[in-house]
Structure 1
């Protein structure tokens, strides 16, 4: 059998400037946070370990049964993952409860957070590790630092993959072969959720204010920004039969309708009883308390700040509690500028008429 040809990774990597690095260092306690580079003409921010597996991700052998859940981070990814997995697996709630979501999906680029720099950042932090099972911790670190492309090579089908990488950094054949569910969210709510997530994860140890985080984000100095380029890549492919584009706001406002759309996309049908049970399972109250999806097991290793949670409030429009008047005006201008060249519109953002 002829071996598939390996495509050279088509994009260049560029170091961020010393000034940009100093801005990041001022608000992060972990060295890994500033050990990043820009990739490709759009300048997506990635941590340096990503470079080592970029070509393998780009050339990842795909199967027709593969299902990707893709998004810019904190856009409703976990919610969508659980929905997709249950539909593909014929509503197998018992297995979903028994096996954490992290084990049901491979997180394609998690290795870039837990390479040598990330592990050093965590192990040299001020976290009290007196009660941590170090053997188990090192097993987890080893697993997470292993490129997912290696783990996926021998994984049984169907394979479920989570990624926050933009489409251009994935295989150019992905929409010819696999199914991709992409979910997007109002960027202002994304910023708020990313801020809390950056505080949550001790591996990066964000210590700045929300306003400082906002400046990082909208100036494209946070992981995998620029945000709008990420979303627009998927939006431009929304008519491809192998990509389903969802909005977080739609999930929040009309979950049954979105479930029907996802079910149709995956070739599944639900009766009224199945729909009612799935809606109840995915209701935010139940989802937040679902230990299979909320990552609470990571607390025993000190990987999560005690004052933050992985699944937070799920609120649409919660950004208003964080943005002052100047930031609101900045955000309005930022959104308007970035929507000028596209018909992309967010359900909760009506700035351009």
Structure 2
């Protein structure tokens, strides 16, 4: 069902808000019945945490550095979202090992995922930067309403009245998933700081024995500048009625720490207290300070 909320019209699915255009009752049912293979690899992210980066990196790592897919196939077809309606149309074209992305919390994954040996690369991003990136995304995405002031949007975000729910719920669901060696946690910040080293970690996790030359070739192709210049990756091919890149480019800055240009001290204290409270008692710690 579609419901109206303070930041847009959403599809409500098991208590989660989803953008209605890309998600239909059929696509969500398709996701639940999806037959996950042992060789599948999922890039899992909370929105605005490096999803597009994973759509670029995963095919290159899995293909041993073959640039053809990222230069000839648009990213939402080469590494489709599990929950979006496009998957049903492209699933038969995906070659094994298949790479997919999802914004789902762990409990929303299909039953076949739990019984498989499929691997997950979970990208964590500092939630302060996630908030800033989401704020700009709400300005340019036609399927989301204007976010209002930064202050107003922060409250909506902390409340979880945004697509795919609360950031803390998302992180907790995957940190507590007990997937053992099936999951690799990596941060957006370490990818920004040293992309070749991050690609090496991903490559080793996926048991791809890539040479240093190939690692550096992949890193070069997956730099923010390369992706921004690649029409197959920068969402410029997405119709303007969905995303207006005149308002804010989809690939905006690709940096860590932009929150420092947006938060005042009161907002910072409020943000920290809410996130800290919601993660109280958890058996994991965040890789960055919330100060």
TM-score of the two chains, using structure 2 as the length reference: 0.88
- For 2:224 and 2:45, the matched residues in 1 are separated by 19
User: Are 2:6 and 1:34 aligned?
Assistant: no
Name the counterpart of 2:100.
Answer: 161
Name the counterpart of 1:92.
Answer: 66
Deviation at 1:347, TM superposition (A): 2.6
Judge conservation of contact 2:59–2:69 (CA < 8 Å) in 1.
no
Aligned length: 287
Matches within 5 A, 1:128-147: 144=86
User: Are 2:228 and 1:288 aligned?
Assistant: yes
Measured against aligned partners, the alpha-carbon deviations of 1:218-240 in whole angstroms (never above 9, x if no partner) come to 01100111211111111123652
Deviation at 1:64, TM superposition (A): 2.0
Structure 1 residues 102 and 91: alpha-carbon distance in aligned structure 2, compared to 1, 3 A threshold? same
Q: Which runs of 5+ in 2 are unaligned?
A: none
Deviation at 1:305, TM superposition (A): 4.0
Structure 1 residues 189 and 93: alpha-carbon distance in aligned structure 2, compared to 1, 3 A threshold? same
Deviation at 1:152, TM superposition (A): 5.6
Per mean C-alpha deviation after superposition, the further-off stretch among 341-350 and 77-86 is 341-350
Judge conservation of contact 2:10–2:17 (CA < 8 Å) in 1.
no
- For 2:255 and 2:138, the matched residues in 1 are separated by 18
Judge conservation of contact 2:78–2:94 (CA < 8 Å) in 1.
no
Task: Select which of 99, 102, 110 maps to 1:171.
Answer: 110
Structure 1 residues 327 and 298: alpha-carbon distance in aligned structure 2, compared to 1, 3 A threshold? same
User: Are 2:150 and 1:210 aligned?
Assistant: yes
Matches within 5 A, 1:291-306: 291-299=231-239, 303-306=243-246
Q: Which runs of 5+ in 1 are unaligned?
A: 1-12, 112-143
Structure 1 residues 99 and 56: alpha-carbon distance in aligned structure 2, compared to 1, 3 A threshold? closer
TM-score of the two chains, using structure 1 as the length reference: 0.73
Point out the structure with max Rg over C-alpha.
1
The CA RMSD measured in Å over matched residues stands at 2.5
Name the counterpart of 1:106.
Answer: 80
Judge conservation of contact 1:175–1:240 (CA < 8 Å) in 2.
no
Matches within 5 A, 1:209-228: 209-228=149-168
